[in-house]
Structure 1
């Protein structure tokens, strides 16, 4: 499972040139908004 997550992260990083956009996309992908969990 960790290997899969690492591959996904690498793919995301390689697909982005803008570090801030990368950070936003990563947080969104893992269910964070403004570094806090979504309240559902």
Structure 2
């Protein structure tokens, strides 16, 4: 039972990390677009 719980938590953490990395890529993309617009 505990092993299932740990594997579930790990999958949730990896999912959250993928969401965070996606958000970071979106933010960096927006910053790049803004810099391009300025220049």
State the TM-score, normalizing by the size of structure 1: 0.40
The structure number with the bigger radius of gyration is: 2
State the TM-score, normalizing by the size of structure 2: 0.41
